[in-house]
Structure 1
Amino acid sequence: MTVVGRKHAGGRGVLRVGTSIELFTGTGGLALAMHRAGFRHQLAVEVDRRACATLLANVASDVDAGTLLLQDSNDLWPLVEGDIRKVDFTPLEGKADVVAGGVPCQPWSLGGVHRGFDDSRNMWPELFRCVREVRPRAVIAENVKGLLRPSFRPYYDYILRELAAPFEQRIEGEEWFDHDKRLVKALKTDGVDPTERYDVHFRLVNAADYGVPQQRWRVFVVAFRRDLGLGGWKFPKSTHSESALLHEQMSGEYWADHDIAPRAPGADLTRAGLPPDDGLARWQTLRDAIGDLPEPIGYKVDHPSWLHHVGWPGARIYAGHTPNELDRPAKTVKAGVHGVPGGESVLRKDDGAIRYLTVREVARIMTFPDNWWLAGPRGEQMRQLGNAVPVELGLVMANAVAKALRSTKIVN
């Protein structure tokens, strides 16, 4: 195995703004974003064997969960491989500015079985435990939009309240809705120590609106410890738009950028039907993301110049699906069933032929670096990417939190 990505973990050239703990690290999307925003990882936790192998190849080193040590800023990310429920975070109390993580989405995914709070994979309670034990200044959590489904919304509101008052701990054997009643009452109580309360903000965002070449709707929850006075914090505004893309395609600017002949607009894309120009950058398209990559060679070996750029046979149009179009953002990258995604992984080429996207192309869509090595066979690599936070979307959120924390002038 050739390890190509260890340089991602180094401290050179990164302005350090604070420290962080990464939960449910996966293949490292949000963690890499936090690193790029200037946070020094005190700890990363991940249970999946393949994801751990990916992290160890790129950015991490093993540590024992029972002997957590603070790491120098130039060290590799300290990784605990194992069940988060067995990790004691108390040695890091007061030592981490941010606790961040993409909480496992399977219980809430629209593509799953929707078991939600009854699912053993519901790991929100572990995030709250980490917050209690570490007392970070901020929390960043990401999850699928299925968490906002009407059937889950009461539990989602409960999640927000528990994050706001994490020290109002759930009693063993207590039903969540009974705990929620206590939280509602506790949050109305005056005179509580502000270091034990958090101001919680949440938003449903589309990754395409922040420059990611993919339409990917996700819920972000950001919380600041109340003593910091950041209750008025706002999520970063969108930077990219569909309107801008349509205007550039209609004007010809988009096609000129790619040095290709303009495509005929659809029936609804007349100048009279265009939405107003909003002054934002245009949505990034699949062509923007992968247009410089060569066609994959064969089905067995990497392209000699590109890591994980291997073709895959048998592409077809799935019932109820349409393929990805080059001049739109990609469809949502999904983990699939046992790492085998469906029609969202099919690309329609300029000549009308279809093929599967390669792992490298999907990594581009998820905005991972080109030398980010992924462990396992293709299915495992695709699963890791489908479960990840796009690096560039995570960076937008991480930078916004870093800016807010810098304004308080207290960092670890």
Structure 2
Amino acid sequence: MDPLRVVEICAGAGGQALGLERAGFDHALAVELDPTAAETLKLNRPEWEVRVGDVADPDVWDPAKFVGVDLLAGGVPCPPFSIAGKQLGANDERDLFAWAVELCGVMRPRALLLENVRGLSAPRFSAYRQHVLDRLDELGYVADWRLLQASDFGVPQLRPRFVLVALSKDDAPYFSWPEAKPVGKTVGEELADLMASGGWRHASHWVTRANGIGPTLVGGSKKHGGADLGPTRAKRAWAELGVDAMGVADAPPPRMAPKNFNPKLTIEMVARLQGWHESSWTFAGRKTSKYRQIGNAFPPPVAEAVGRQIAGALRHHGEPRVLDDAVVHDPVYRLLRRSDDALTAAEIFSRIGGELTLDEIQLRIKHLTRDFDMYPESTDGENAFKLGNFRAFVGQDDHVRHEYLAQMRSKVS
């Protein structure tokens, strides 16, 4: 079979790229903002075309040159949706999710794959998700979201990722989400050989202590901190597995390290826990940069599992299925988007047939005001609402994102 071609944006150090490669995709292009992560891609796949810079900068690459590519994929920035941040969504200058969706109108890929943090699946972003689904439908795609756990795909880590897959209407009937195959190894079992590689006499004892799945590895950003394994709760969870999460080690424990000593993980160990089983994969940069590249990646086994399902759909493997009706993520958004009139919360409640309580509707309206222009009116003393434009960056020349990036370039990752 001829290989399928993928353009990957926000490619990072290659976690998603490696998984898609295993699934049968050839990279027509990879685009990455961080020069060190881009250098990692070039070191490991010198045959790929890698562009370095802001993915939305037309001087970096021209999407129109890749019209009809099989797959457009990316792990766009997560801070706009992270529960560890302010969840600014469309008002976050780093948000590229909506822009990536708009690329489908330019490039007309047969499929789209975007992954992000679990926060995007929260009720706070129900209207944002609904906008994405409706926009993709307008562009001729059938789209669906799914929360995938890395531990279901051979990664000994609690790492939920919220994944969007969209396919052309001809290909979509052949797509199904990958089946979960829960990991069989604990952190200790996964790292046993690496932890013993320095001769530590008690490595086998440590393996019995590290008898569970690790919490999510947090790569962090250039703005915050160095190489440690996550916030306070995560550090406590690592400690219960016999791991010192306060930093990353330069080498495995030496032969004479104490029996109940909690070792730090090395870069190679962190990569293994993220699903990088290729010891030949070289990470560019210094230790903190390497850790950040690994910790922010989409685990290769998860990317591979989703990629294989997309590849099968593009090749029309199996029997086509009858597509289910699309899940409505936000009936309030949908109603306001289609209404020519401003509506009160009570009118919305009566029109959506009791799907949500009045309090839930008022909360949805509050969320809408954060991502969309809203035009409040007064109707018989009650506030009524009319939905305006989506505030997210979708390529506007005058968007505040351009000024932010120009001023904060060294801190954006």
TM-score by length of 2: 0.64
**Structure 1: 5+ residue runs without aligned partners?**
1-14, 61-75, 166-195, 241-281, 304-323
Amino acid at match of 2:242: R
Amino acid at match of 1:352: N
- Write the mapping of 1:102-141 to structure 2, written as runs, cut at 5 A: 102-141=75-114
Aligned match of 2:67 in 86, 93, 103?
A: 93
- Write the mapping of 1:130-209 to structure 2, written as runs, cut at 5 A: 130-165=103-138, 196-209=139-152
- Write the mapping of 1:306-385 to structure 2, written as runs, cut at 5 A: 326-336=210-220, 337-341=224-228, 342=230, 343=235, 348=242, 351-368=259-276, 369-385=278-294
| Structure with a larger share of its residues in helix | 2
The answer to whether the aligner puts 1:31 opposite 2:17 as a matched pair is yes
Aligned to 1:235: 177
8 Å CA contact 1:345–1:357 kept in 2: the answer is: no
Aligned to 2:314: 405
Within 1, Cα distance between the matches of 2:226 and 2:9? 22
For residue 84 of structure 1, report the CA deviation from its aligned partner.
0.9
8 Å CA contact 2:174–2:312 kept in 1: the answer is: no
8 Å CA contact 2:174–2:317 kept in 1: the answer is: no
For residue 233 of structure 1, report the CA deviation from its aligned partner.
3.0
8 Å CA contact 1:100–1:140 kept in 2: the answer is: yes
Q: CA RMSD in A?
A: 2.5
Deviates more, 1:79-88 or 1:345-354: 345-354
Q: For residues 396 and 200 of structure 1, do their structure 2 counterparts lie closer, same or farther at Cα, with a shift above 3 Å needed?
A: same
Amino acid at match of 1:383: R
- Write the mapping of 1:42-81 to structure 2, written as runs, cut at 5 A: 42-60=28-46, 76-81=47-52
SS in 1 for 2:316: helix
For residue 388 of structure 1, report the CA deviation from its aligned partner.
0.3
SS in 2 for 1:141: strand
Within 2, Cα distance between the matches of 1:147 and 1:385? 21
Amino acid at match of 1:214: Q
Within 2, Cα distance between the matches of 1:402 and 1:129? 22
Size of the aligned set, in residue pairs, is 283
Within 2, Cα distance between the matches of 1:16 and 1:356? 44
For residue 377 of structure 1, report the CA deviation from its aligned partner.
1.8
Deviates more, 1:350-359 or 1:107-116: 350-359
For residue 59 of structure 1, report the CA deviation from its aligned partner.
1.1
Amino acid at match of 2:306: M
8 Å CA contact 1:26–1:388 kept in 2: the answer is: yes
For residue 296 of structure 1, report the CA deviation from its aligned partner.
6.8
8 Å CA contact 2:81–2:88 kept in 1: the answer is: yes
Deviates more, 1:348-357 or 1:97-106: 348-357
For residue 375 of structure 1, report the CA deviation from its aligned partner.
1.7
8 Å CA contact 1:46–1:52 kept in 2: the answer is: yes
Within 2, Cα distance between the matches of 1:358 and 1:127? 34
8 Å CA contact 1:213–1:288 kept in 2: the answer is: no
Within 2, Cα distance between the matches of 1:362 and 1:164? 39
Amino acid at match of 1:120: E
For residue 408 of structure 1, report the CA deviation from its aligned partner.
6.8
Superposed CA offset, 1:127-155 (max 9, x none):
12321221111111111001122222221
